[in-house]
Chain A
Amino acid sequence: MVKTICTELLVIGATFTGMGMALSDPDRSLVIESTAAVGSEFIAAFRPGVPVNRLFSDRRVLQFRDELMRRRAMDEAGRVHLPALAPICCSLLHQKKVRIRFLTRPMAVEYEQGKWKVTIISPAGVEVIVATNVVDTSSIGMMLRLLGKPNEEGYQPYINASLHRSEGLAVVQDLVEDGLIVYEGAIDGEVYINVSLCSEDDWSKARMRLKETWSARSQASRKWTIASVASALDIRQQSGIRTIDDQLYWLPSSGYDHPLQAYNEGLLLRNTQMDGSERL
């Protein structure tokens, strides 16, 4: 017997945008996340993002920012210490009792009597979620794929890595290389590189490209080594919400330049709905 779960809003992906949406109204939201982690589009992808020059006004975003800064997970310049974001987000989700299911993926979707019936698969097997609204915050547009609709927007994937400098202080100027984009995190020595990929590259190909690019680095960069390779691809989409169908939307969290901005967008979108404008 397949179990059915009902919710007003189903959020696909525990992304920063997805978390923002769910935290805005925890009682009426359910988040499903295919991995065992939050914010994978930034954290697991080793994408610290670009500090944004904008002032956030929402109280909850400011509280989240203050929490990051208090724990030194973000500096004054807006650079984040990526691995610290996951525990802080988990703590927030726990405190606010957000309904979330990790290791759960949508496998089929159909529209029935004004609601979306999403068949999911988790370690317990197949279940069904009936939701009034569905917002897909994944980078790849999972719902588009399940509906067999083409994604006509191009996107740029990267494979990223976290570096370590074996000698002396971290001087990122050493790392000027063709094909490498360098980002710094909030902690001294926290440096990430991005290597661009073709959209059809699979994981195996992506890791080969990273290895080839890295092995060919100049002598000046050889003091740097790869400490860890990202476990999620960094797939950059365009920002903003797209309507896929009635009550079904795609709002890729990876469309934003910074985790805090993605979080803010999730909260804002849900606020608009709460204010009585077009319901999600």
Chain B
Amino acid sequence: MSLVRSRLANCKVEREPYDGIIIQELDLIVVGLGTAGAIAAITAARNGLRVLGIDQGTGMGGTGTFGAVLGYYYGQRGGIYEDWDRTVMEMEQSDGDFTPSAGVNRELKQNVLEQLAREAKVEIRYESLLTGVFMVEKKVCGVEWLEQGGLNSAYARMVIDATGDAYVCAMAGCELRGGREQDGQNQPFSNALVYMKGGKVCYGYTDSGYVDPYDADSLTEAILSSNTLSTHLRNNYNEGDRLITIASQLGIREGRFIEGEENVTWQSYLEEQFAEHPIFYAYSNLDNHSKDLALESENQQDWSVACSLWGLKFFVPIPLGALVPKEVDGLIVAGRCLAVDHDLAACVRMKRDMQKSGEAAAVAVELAIRDQVPLMNINIHELQTRLSATGCLTVPASLYREHSSNDKATSVPVQWIEDAEEIKQGLMSDKPGIAIWSARRLDWLREQLRQWMMSDHESENLRKHSAFALSLMGDALAEKVLLEIVSMRDPYVPKTSSKYNMVRGFAAIYLLGKVRSVAAVDALCEVLIDERPLPMVERNDEFLLDEDELRFQYISFALTALIRIGDAHQVVRESIVHGLRAWFRLKITPLFITMKGSKEIKLDLSDKLRAMADSAISRWEPVS
């Protein structure tokens, strides 16, 4: 069995036999010493492994230090990182050398991590960029990197890919996926900055556009353009909120995901197929920052559009297999490239959980090396016991939780409702999301929902939200009420989530597409060309900035609904094509959306929508 060196060229794997000399041999190499990798390297070394950590930057901690995202956004508490964060807090209060900071002090966190790594005898190589992976058949057995002195390499019994973007896995030829199905788009990135305010080091960021983290030209454009936003390029720099630095690392929310030995997808989550032996839990809401939700999966739109459940927090059990790339030995991932999909990655990416993934990967490697077995054959109960001892694995009392909008620290468990009267009250309320989703799960409630929907004596909310629940069950009887909602461009916005609630008018359009409603074709074609003013509700600023954005939502949902209907029903394709061409003749005006937190970037998505329409027409043309 011969040794090969596997590298990337143009994002493609290139392998060649390797006969160079590799002197250094280790138990473990951790590639990337960021949020997950720093924890992994220190944990593994503390547990007795000989560890080398390499990072392309100049320190440890990643997003929380060099990325300048100092605070935590959800994630489950517990795990070894909590002790280290506590040390950071104590040092900040006691030593007086560093300026107090919002969130977790990034300078002290870097110092604490580096001190722990030194004590544990982790060998660290900064400013070292991964260039290749050594393999024998399907087993990774070392890596090659470029450091300031030139190329270097080492063998290891195991490698942890903590690059965040699965670079080791990509070089090893592992199967990867990424982005949403419609257009491959991932989540927006940010470019954080650090400033002084009220005697404290603070941080801030807005969403800054989209970037392909595997394309240097795309990254370059992202760096240049995000630096020229008015948050960074100011007309007048002054003492107020004095800028200290711009983060040296872009805030990339989503990259590639591995195809794991086990995969945790949004579909499997909704079907309640949970991991039998979780090694940690992730916790957040389905925090997709994109505003072009009509282009997301139906599963995501069921949740976030039809039910406005964007803000509901939930726990996701992560199994060991979600960290182990399929059919490749000697390699495990830690960090955001674990085996989730685009939809679920909106939740499974928070810093607390990524630190947990680092701890879990390190202990898994230790057990595999000790017992000389492949990672998937380690004693999973021993791993769970070890991780439970530090709090890394803490089984939540309830999978779903709702937080008070003004107090993230307190939360209450949420259960799906199973009582008809409670569901009725929920559907009538101004927070109908939980009730709609609950009703969708109860097929025995279908007849009752139909009665509520069709009764003239019931409240408007009950009628309309019953129609929402029925359409999520695939019930075409809901289309009459949905069409009524669309016809009036119903401006009602529920209050189910703290933000990102969806206007009932365009949510109904999505649902007409979901039930593949032939009867809706004319109404939806009309939405495309309707230039009348749209009724706008004020209290929805973060998702809908202005009427232009509302119009984008109506048109994008109408277009995607029509395409779904046309794909399902050959008989209406001609009418839909006619409607789409009428829209083209209207000379499609720019369809803008802004980025979350920023009014400055206006992305014109008209070309993208037009291309979707053209693609559908050409797909149907032989028939129509």
Contact = CB atoms under 8 A, between A and B. Distances in A.
B269 interface: no
Interface residues of B, number: 69
Contact of B224 (A90, A148, A228): A90
B149 A121 contact: no
A83 B8 contact: no
Interface in B108-161: 110-111, 114, 118, 124, 126-127, 129, 131, 146, 148-151
B248 to A, nearest CB: 4
A75 to B, nearest CB: 11
Output the residue of B12, B126, B167, B234 with the most chain A CB within 10 A.
Answer: B234
Given A2-B9, A90-B224, A121-B129, A164 B199 contact: yes
Nearest to B217: A101
A34 B216 CA distance: 11
Interface string A91-102: 101100000111
Given A121-B131, A123-B219, A145-B150, A162 B248 contact: no
B214 A124 contact: yes
A38 B236 CA distance: 20
Interface stretch (B95-103, B260-268, B358-366, B597-605): B95-103
B10 A2 contact: yes
Interface residues of A, number: 65
Contacts of A204: 114, 118, 124
Interface string B220-245: 10011101100011111111001111
A254 B7 CA distance: 33
B31 to A, nearest CB: 13
A105 B127 CA distance: 11
Nearest to A141: B148
B25 interface: no
B572 interface: no
Nearest to B214: A123
Nearest to B242: A187
B246 interface: yes
Nearest to B11: A124
Contact of A101 (B194, B213, B220, B232): B220
A133 B466 CA distance: 71
Contacts of A36: 219, 223, 248-250
Contacts of B114: 204, 207
Contact of A187 (B216, B227, B237): B237
Nearest to B232: A87
Contacts of B96: 222, 225
B117 to A, nearest CB: 8
A189 B238 CA distance: 10
B9 A127 contact: yes
B59 interface: yes
A1 to B, nearest CB: 6
A83 B148 CA distance: 26
A166 B199 contact: yes
B236 A228 contact: no
B167 A71 contact: no
Given A101-B220, A187-B242, A227-B201, A37 B111 contact: no
A242 to B, nearest CB: 18
B58 interface: yes
Given A71-B236, A86-B227, A204-B124, A101 B10 contact: no
A131 interface: no
Contact of B11 (A44, A125, A140, A231): A125
A91 B233 contact: yes
B227 A90 contact: yes
B490 interface: no
Interface string B536-567: 00000000000000000000000000000000
Contacts of A166: 99, 199
A103 B216 contact: yes
A1 B234 contact: no
Q: From DSSP, what is the main secondary structure of chain A's interface residues?
A: mixed
A125 B10 contact: yes
A100 B227 CA distance: 15
A36 B213 CA distance: 12
A199 interface: no
A3 B97 contact: no
Contacts of B57: 231
A181 to B, nearest CB: 18
A96 B12 CA distance: 32
Output the residue of B9, B14, B167, B196 with the most chain A CB within 10 A.
Answer: B9
Contacts of B219: 36, 102-103, 123
Contacts of A190: 242
A203 interface: yes
Output the residue of B114, B193, B220, B225 with the most chain A CB within 10 A.
Answer: B220
A10 to B, nearest CB: 15
B9 A123 contact: no
Interface string B151-181: 1000000000000010100000000000000
B562 to A, nearest CB: 37
A100 B576 CA distance: 45
A82 B242 CA distance: 11
Given A44-B248, A83-B244, A123 B126 contact: no
B239 A104 contact: no
Given A71-B237, A87-B232, A3 B216 contact: no
A226 B11 contact: no
A229 interface: yes
Contacts of A37: 223, 246, 248
A73 interface: yes
B215 interface: yes
Interface of A: 1-3, 34-37, 44, 71-73, 81-84, 86-88, 90-91, 93-94, 100-105, 107, 121-127, 140, 142, 145-146, 148, 162, 164, 166, 186-190, 202-204, 207, 211, 214-215, 222, 225-229, 231-233
11 contacts: A37-B248, A71-B235, A72-B236, A88-B233, A107-B151, A122-B216, A124-B10, A189-B239, A215-B97, A225-B96, A226-B107
Interface of B: 7-12, 14, 56-59, 66, 95-100, 106-107, 110-111, 114, 118, 124, 126-127, 129, 131, 146, 148-151, 165, 167, 193-194, 196, 199, 201, 213-217, 219-220, 223-225, 227-228, 232-239, 242-246, 248-250
8 closest Cβ pairs, A-B complex: A125-B8, A90-B227, A87-B233, A122-B216, A87-B232, A225-B99, A83-B243, A227-B99
Given A215-B95, A226-B107, 13 more contacts: A2-B9, A3-B9, A36-B223, A72-B236, A72-B237, A87-B246, A123-B216, A124-B8, A188-B239, A214-B97, A227-B98, A229-B110, A231-B58
